[in-house]
């Protein structure tokens, strides 16, 4: 099975920033298939000699009737289906929001490895604040990272590639 990492989470937590950082070196974006309308972005990344595809997704908003949001929801579900490892991203600056709780339930219902990624852990205070996300009940692994500075991303990727 292909090594596919899906980055999911509510809007504005930093998914695309992290995606761009991951694929930066390779710049080998395998974009959407022609004629297929979907809002998922594919990139190719490497970490310690292991190669994998990364999927960036839009934000999933649970329970909305908005037609655009339901389209986003569909593409998130498809990304979860494709994934071999799921990165569920939250925002240390904001703490746990109701959207994170709903999203955690969706991610939990998929029977795949989920790594909880607490982004925007830009300083010690934020890294400490990230502990609050353990309440989402997504296993013992939680990775505080800063997609801006790159701190913590090495530890996260070490764990990701263990699944390949």
> Looking only at residues 2 through 31 of this chain, which bind Mg ion when binding is defined by CB under 5 A?
15-16
Strand blocks (E) in the chain? 4-8, 41-47, 50-56, 85-91, 114-119, 142-144
- Contact at 8 Å (CB) between 164 and 52? yes
Q: Which does 32 bind (CB under 5 to 8 A by kind): Mg ion, ligand GDP, none?
A: none
Per DSSP, 133 falls in state: G
- Contact at 8 Å (CB) between 40 and 150? no
Binding site for ligand GDP (CB under 6 A): 11-17, 59, 119-120, 122, 146-148
Residue 121, annotated as binding a ligand: yes
Residue closer to Mg ion, measured from CB, 15 or 73: 15
Residue closer to ligand GDP, measured from CB, 24 or 51: 24
Shortest separation between residue 90's beta carbon and Mg ion, angstroms:
14
Residue 58, annotated as binding a ligand: yes
Instruction: Please list the alpha-helical segments (H only) found in 24-152.
Output: 67-82, 98-109, 124-129
Residue 14, annotated as binding a ligand: yes
Residue closer to Mg ion, measured from CB, 87 or 161: 87
- Contact at 8 Å (CB) between 144 and 127? yes
> Which residues sit in the known binding site?
9-16, 56-60, 119-122
């Amino acid at each position: 099975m292909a090594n596919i990492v899906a980055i999911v989470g509510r809007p504005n937590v930093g998914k695309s920033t992290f995606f761009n950082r991951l694929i930066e070196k390779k710049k080998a974006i395998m974009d959407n298939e022609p004629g297929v309308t979907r809002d998922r972005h594919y990139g190719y990344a490497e970490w310690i000699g292991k190669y994998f595809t990364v999927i960036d997704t839009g934000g999933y908003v649970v329970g909305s009737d908005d037609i655009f949001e339901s389209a986003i929801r569909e593409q998130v579900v498809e990304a979860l289906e494709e994934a071999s490892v799921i990165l569920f991203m939250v925002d240390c600056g904001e703490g746990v929001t109701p959207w994170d709780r709903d999203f955690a339930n969706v991610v939990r219902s998929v029977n795949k490895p989920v790594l909880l990624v607490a982004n925007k852990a830009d300083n010690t205070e934020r890294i400490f604040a990230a502990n609050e996300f353990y309440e989402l009940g997504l296993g013992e692994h939680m990775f505080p990272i800063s997609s801006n500075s790159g701190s913590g991303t090495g530890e996260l990727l070490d764990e990701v590639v263990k699944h390949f």
